[in-house]
Amino acid sequence: IRNLVIVLGDQLNHDSAALDDFDNQRDRVWMAENQEEATHVWCHKFRLVAFFAPMRHFRDELDEKGRQVLYHALPTDGRKARTSSFASLLTTTLNEHDVQKMIVVHPGDHRVLESLKTVADEQNVTLEIRDDRHFYCTIDQFRDWADGRNSLVLETFYRHMRKQHDVLIDGGDPVSGVWNHDKENRGTFGKSGPSDLPHTHHFRPDDVTQDVIDMVNQRFDDHPGKVDASSFDLPVTRSEALTLLREFIKHRLIHFGDYQDAMWSDQKYLYHSRLSHAINLHLLSPREVVDKAIAAFDSGEAPINSVEGFVRQILGWREFVRGIYWTHMPDYQDRNALQCDDDQDVPSFFWDGKTDMACVADAMRLLIETGYAHHIQRLMVLGLFAQLYGTHPAKFHQWHMAMYNDAVDWVSLPNALGMSQWGDGGLMATKPYCASGKYIKRMGNYCKGCRFNPDEATGDDACPFTTLYWDFLDRHQQQFKNNTRMTMQLKNLQRKDASQMNAIRDRAQMIRRDELDL
């Protein structure tokens, strides 16, 4: 074999740089489903199908293009997989074939990158790592941008990206006169709730996906969640992913901005795109997604607040978190700025959703059923609870990797450990996203149907978020005393008298020790 081209599970792109000079006769593609990847975090069954089914479809497409693929599939019949780890599978291939060179596009997981380098060294085979063209910003470009800056601020990076890539720019300035439409993007669904929400496309599993569903249910039956043909509805090919993109642009983008921060019970996607899984697996490119959104603005189908809000997520946040990840790994994963206890894990109801807290129960139900929760549920319900509860940020990230079908290390770690848990001490967010139950009350209808009261911090009806919020500020007030963005919150804390604070501390302690029936 001249070149062994390694295609990882989140690199399913026929235009990938790894395939640039592929020779159908002399080269081989190498892909592997492996037990270790699926079990190093205790993955949700839905998530396993969300990764393995697109891989098998991509293998079949390569095959149709005449590309020879060495594909390691996990067997359905329960026989032990040939060998379990990524490194050992690759080593076996290198021992069985005379490989002159390995080629890979830069992986999205630091651990996988190191593992590849180790195998290449041990087997004495050249490893060529190519830049991932999928992203707007290369890792080196981000490092250059970050170099010498005291703080890395999303807004500055985002404006730089808009100008550099001429996105929503007119003569060097933003097309609408302002860079940021966030103020228009904090709408709620009022008292009556959302009406006429657009229909959601359900992609029916074909035989290939059904085989994966069977394999996952049989091989990983003790993993969390469940998956079957009626529940699995994600795109598994580029063509399906394009259908999902069209659906979003046509029906949801119009209100994406207005309701970006809103929540409503029993609703899955509201006006969110649900595209993260397809983009992260590289079934879609961020450029085509952004271009389609801008075309909708140009044709008058979508307003600027929605289009700018959406572009900000893809061209801004998504590229920013990747830059943060690769600029600060590997030490980033060990950061624990709030000094949470090493063994403080997520609460048990983060696995089964069994809690009376209406907001948590609803977000968990969706997560268990579909491997999805929208951004505000992630950040301001589940992430917020984990943070106030004192969960160790690495444990929260591991839980996140296990549960969400769009979780890949480069994007989950900065969002989970950094943005949500403030584990990186302010790289991702200048202040922690901490709030009481009153925030959740304002942004949706959860509190109406809940046995707890978001306005109370103590007593039997006290909302656990509210109790833990004051306790969080109390525990970390020294750390935040010089953070001007926290001044207001800390001032409010000072207004609590000593007996109130003692009652709050006691109740928070009981919540953390799982002594209360939540």
**Positions in the binding site for ligand FAD (CB under 6 A):** 272-276, 279-280, 310, 313-314, 317-318, 321, 374-375, 378-379, 383, 400, 404, 406-407, 411-412, 415-416, 419-420
Candidates 91-99, 242-250, 397-405, 434-442 — which segment interacts with ligand SF4 by CB under 6 A?
A: 434-442
- Could you write out the three-class secondary structure of 93-143? HHHHCCCCEEEEECCCCHHHHHHHHHHHHHHCCEEEEECCCCCCCCHHHHH
Closest CA to 146 of 314, 270, 324: 324
Is 41 an interacting residue with respect to ligand SF4 (CB under 6 A)? Answer: no
Task: Quickly tell me which residue has 């943070």 as its tokens.
Answer: 387
Residue 189 CB, shortest distance to ligand SF4, in Å, is 15
Instruction: Give the contacts of 75 (CB within 8 A, at least 6 positions apart).
Output: 81, 215
Q: Which structure tokens are listed for 201?
A: 């496309």
Is 262 an interacting residue with respect to ligand SF4 (CB under 6 A)? Answer: no
Instruction: Give the contacts of 66 (CB within 8 A, at least 6 positions apart).
Output: 24
Residue 260 CB, shortest distance to ligand FAD, in Å, is 7
Residue 442 CB, shortest distance to ligand SF4, in Å, is 10
φ/ψ of 266, rounded to 5, equals 65, 5
Q: Which does 317 bind (CB under 5 to 8 A by kind): ligand FAD, ligand SF4, none?
A: ligand FAD
Residue 465 CB, shortest distance to ligand SF4, in Å, is 5
Residue 436 CB, shortest distance to ligand SF4, in Å, is 8
Is 465 an interacting residue with respect to ligand SF4 (CB under 6 A)? Answer: yes
Q: Which does 337 bind (CB under 5 to 8 A by kind): ligand SF4, ligand FAD, none?
A: none
Burial class (CB within 10 angstroms; exposed 0-12, middle 13-18, buried 19+) of 281: buried
CB–CB of 422/335 below 8 Å? no
Instruction: Give the contacts of 206 (CB within 8 A, at least 6 positions apart).
Output: none
Instruction: Give 81 or 411: the residue with its C-beta nearer to ligand FAD.
Output: 411
Q: How many CB atoms lie within 10 A of CB 204?
A: 11
CB–CB of 130/140 below 8 Å? no
Strands 69-72 and 3-6: unpaired
Instruction: Give 238 or 378: the residue with its C-beta nearer to ligand SF4.
Output: 378
Instruction: Give 88 or 243: the residue with its C-beta nearer to ligand FAD.
Output: 243
CA distance 503 to 500: 5
Q: Which of residues 439-458 bind ligand SF4 (CB under 6 A)?
A: 440-441, 446-447, 450, 452, 454
Q: Which structure tokens are listed for 400?
A: 């996140």
Binder to ligand SF4 among 174, 323, 390, 437 (CB under 6 A)? 437
Is 463 an interacting residue with respect to ligand SF4 (CB under 6 A)? Answer: yes
Cα distances from 363 to residues 249, 263, 377, 420, in angstroms, run 25, 10, 6, 16
- Say how many residues touch ligand SF4, by CB under 6 A: 14
Q: Which does 390 bind (CB under 5 to 8 A by kind): ligand SF4, ligand FAD, none?
A: none
Q: Which does 58 bind (CB under 5 to 8 A by kind): ligand SF4, ligand FAD, none?
A: none
Cα distances from 333 to residues 152, 323, 327, 417, in angstroms, run 18, 14, 12, 8
Residue 514 CB, shortest distance to ligand FAD, in Å, is 22
Is 462 an interacting residue with respect to ligand SF4 (CB under 6 A)? Answer: no
Q: Which does 452 bind (CB under 5 to 8 A by kind): ligand SF4, ligand FAD, none?
A: ligand SF4
CB–CB of 22/45 below 8 Å? no
Q: Which does 406 bind (CB under 5 to 8 A by kind): ligand FAD, ligand SF4, none?
A: ligand FAD
Residue 401 CB, shortest distance to ligand FAD, in Å, is 7
Q: Which does 454 bind (CB under 5 to 8 A by kind): ligand SF4, ligand FAD, none?
A: ligand SF4
Strand partners, 174: 169
Strand partners, 72: 32
CB–CB of 288/251 below 8 Å? no
Residue 263 CB, shortest distance to ligand SF4, in Å, is 10
Instruction: Give 416 or 508: the residue with its C-beta nearer to ligand FAD.
Output: 416
Binding site for ligand SF4 (CB under 6 A): 357-359, 437, 440-441, 446-447, 450, 452, 454, 463-465
